[in-house]
Amino acid sequence: MDVLVPVDRYRVDYEVGSGSPFSELDFIVLKAITLEGNQDLEGLASKLYLPKRLLIESLVGLARAGRIAIGGAGASFVATQQGIQAVKDDLLPTPEEIDYRRGYVLVDKLAGRICSTRDVTYVTARRLMDDGIWDRAIRLERSPHLPRLDGGQVKHLLQRDKRKEWIRWVGDPLPQQQAWLHIHIDEVEGRASGIPEIWRSGLTPYIENIARSKLPACTLDATGQSSKESDGEIKFAWPASLKDLKLIRTHSEHVELLFTALREAKSQVLIASAFANAAVISGELAESIKSAVSRGVRVDLLWGYSTGKTADEQNRTLAALKTLRKECAGQDSLRFNDTPTGSHAKLLAWDDDVGFKVSIGSHNWLSKKILPRDGEPPSAELSIVCSHSGIASEVCTTIAGLWSAPQSSYSSISDLWHHTAASLERQTITSPLSVGEPDLQNEGASVCSYLENIENVYLRQVRDQEHEVLMRDLILGAKNRIAITSHKIGAKAKIRIEPLPIYLETPLEKNLEILVIGDENLIEDPEILKSIQKRVELAGGKFFIKSSIHAKVIVADDTVIISSYNFLSADPFSNASDSREVGLYIKSREMADIIWAWIVQESVRGGSGPI
């Protein structure tokens, strides 16, 4: 029996940098803009005696590097805070070499897994027809519920010399070809061949379901295409230290972090929130934003939905944002999307005197009231602040993707965040703790051999559909403990916890501690909660309902994912194409112990307890 899995190939255009940024001509243009004030193209060309074409190339480079911006209605150019500082320091830059490259990635259109074209062998429909396979094969349908691709999802797959090159810019992936993954099931031996090792975890359940429906007596044994990556392993991770991480666990800590970011930012702040609330934006937050803008800080606000998601709420949110922009001293330094992005990501990013920081987690920065209402129980939130420049670079590329389509009118903002991402990655590759590709399944392997003096901590950004596949891998591989918290509970909760083990005849063999905590049931059917509880209990675990849980976390042995992603639901806003999710994968025994203890504490704090 032949099964064809749909895969799409995407083209990714990107730039790789090496050396140092700027040319002497760029510096002369930057000085002219800084010292002369607002300058339009005609005025600059006249003053500098430069051909317009050459001048435009320099202006584009300076804008992409974050040194200038377009200001005012007359389309004049103004220097940013970074540009002013560069001229003030009078640092003559040395040239940067830029290499324009093209890469390709594949997406399996069932589970949404992404890989390089080097890792999977695919075939075209024409080749399948020529080989006589097309008409007799079972062709699976492409899922319509996969999010669109952006640079943040594919950046780690793009080729460059990680010792001396960095990604300078990533374009949105462009669909190039629809193709197929050919999987053959031997009906006699029950063996499925052709499943790529890199996608085994995500695709095997689909193939098993087909085998059971067509070959009920068959026990499937899946074998795959060869790959350097073993199943369940994160291929790319940044070696790090615990000092790069800080947990934020309470509402008051999140509020303080937000105000700290706005107060201490040197040149830029990004606040991305799934929800935005006009009252929050117009309240205490407004003064902090205006204060930051008055210091020359660029503040970017991204919101996925207005609170309540009604037209009236959306209009109130936009009115509050526009009023705030008018009240800011420099209107061009406050930017926001004027249509909902549909993103569920919750991010905070800023630079201070120490370096660049990002916060990833569950807190809605633009909708959570500073002071909770009287009698409102404290919400159990969890975010992680990361000062590792490699992770910050990945998150900034994701931010650039959030500013791209459908917000195409903000492409200049996207370029500024690409520049920040490039600067951070460049900083990372010159650090002693450079990039690594560790075997995360074996302690002490690979990169650990030269990281003897720091904790064994590995970090990786997690995006969108990758959460579901990693969750399955972590549950299947856990030996000692599993904890899952999810604000939303949906129809996919039963599927997500299905990999949990079952202890029936020999309960004494159980050595896996399991905690599952949820809050809001999206489906008006109490039976789904009972079925989840039964499945968790079969695994020897406990299932809790807590009305104040908003954290989205999974702990499996020594691995943690902290995210905006509800692990027990799927696409709660029915907008899968733009429902961006961002999490942080942390491989660290110490951090896993801390978060496990926090989850245990939350399981016994208030609320309804086990159902």
Does residue 85 sit in the same domain as residue 109? no
Please report, as a single letter, which amino acid is at residue 300.
D
Same-domain pairing of 321 and 201? no
Asked if the structure places residue 372 within a domain, the reply is: yes
491 and 425, same domain (yes or no): no
Q: What percent of the chain clears pLDDT 90, i.e. is strictly above it?
A: 43
Give the pLDDT of residue 499.
Answer: 87
Number of domains in the chain: 4
Q: Of 45, 73, 94, at which residue does a domain stop? A: 94
- The distance from CA 370 to its chain's CA centroid, rounded to whole angstroms, is 26
**What pLDDT, on a 0 to 100 scale, did the predictor assign at position 310?**
82
- Quick check: is 355 in a domain? yes
Expressed as residue numbers, the domain containing 159 is 2-15+99-225
> Are 364 and 273 contacting, i.e. CB atoms less than 8 angstroms apart?
yes
Q: Quick one: tokens of 164?
A: 């001396």
Residue 359's pLDDT is: 98
Q: Are residues 64 and 125 in the same domain?
A: no
31 & 134 share domain: no
Q: Tell me which of 66, 94, 122 is where a domain ends.
A: 94
Give the three-state DSSP class for 274. strand
Give the global pTM. 0.80
Q: Would you give the DSSP letter of residue 308? A: T
| Residues recorded for the chain | 611
- What are the Cα distances from residue 281, in Å, to 306, 332, 413? 11, 18, 21
Residue 589's Cβ-count burial label (10 Å; 0-12, 13-18, 19+) is middle
| CATH for 404 | 3.30.870.10
Whether residues 310 and 424 fall in one domain: yes
* Residue 437 in domain: no
- Predicted pLDDT at 21: 59
Query: Do 498 and 556 fall into the same domain?
Result: yes
Give the per-residue pLDDT at 453.
39
Provide the CB-side half-sphere exposure for 59 (13 A, CA).
23
The pLDDT assigned to 427 comes to 84
Whether cis (ω within 30° of 0) applies to the bond prior to 216 is: no
Residue 422 and residue 294 share a domain? yes
Weakly modelled stretches of the chain, pLDDT under 70: 20-22, 64-65, 71-75, 91-95, 214-235, 330-331, 372-378, 404-412, 430-455, 503-510, 524, 570-578, 606-611
